Structure 1
Amino acid sequence: MNLPSSVKIGAINYRIQEKEVVDNELTNWGLCVLHDNHIEVLASLSEERKEQTLIHEILHAIFCEAGFGEQDEDLINRVGIVLYQVLKDNNLFCQLGEER
């Protein structure tokens, strides 16, 4: 599955980019760049890790758009893992990759 090229969160369109290097002090798998409205995902990850990382970064954007400036990384990790599994188990994730 190819990652979608963008995702709309609230009123904001976030571009999704696969990168060879993701510069993030917490992890090198993904990054949500809020001031530039884009999400970076490490290109060398397995497809499942890319999908899971994308969900994690989307959650960061959702929390930001909902007005949560301070974000608990542990909470994002836990919710991201469960949300990813819900999307996978219900065949909803594959719909995210379809161009509309």
Structure 2
Amino acid sequence: MPKEVKVGGLVYKVETKPFVEVESDRNYQGTCDYSKTEISIMEYISNERKEDVFFHELTHAIFYEAGFEEQDEDMINRIGKVIHQVVKNNDF
């Protein structure tokens, strides 16, 4: 997993944390903070799950930087999984 990723001309910092909190709720495996250009992933999950969460949050960043401020979570889940598979199974 990279320490940073460029999306739409911006650099998103990627970091793991002991917990990921959204609006006082710590029941999240990851989050994407657009204003801080930061992707956070819970450190206590498996490496495979971290990859999956990273691509999910990366998809949020991609959609946001493309101008989609309102996002459908089901669509982000589906597209994130396909992006993950494409990157993992192809040698770029």
Counterparts of 1:91 and 1:47, CA distance in 2? 20
Considering Cα pairs closer than 8 Å and 6+ residues apart, tell me whether 1 or 2 has the greater RCO.
Answer: 1
Matches within 5 A, 1:18-97: 18-24=16-22, 28-91=28-91
Taking only the aligned residue pairs, the percentage that are identical comes to: 43
Secondary structure in 1 matching 2:74:
helix
Count matched residues.
90
Counterparts of 1:57 and 1:72, CA distance in 2? 13
The alignment's C-alpha RMSD in Å is 1.6
Counterparts of 1:73 and 1:26, CA distance in 2? 18
What 5-or-longer segments of structure 1 have no aligned partner? 93-100
What 5-or-longer segments of structure 2 have no aligned partner? none
User: Aligned residue for 2:11?
Assistant: 13
Say which structure is richer in strand: 2
TM-score, structure 2 as length reference: 0.89
TM-score, structure 1 as length reference: 0.83
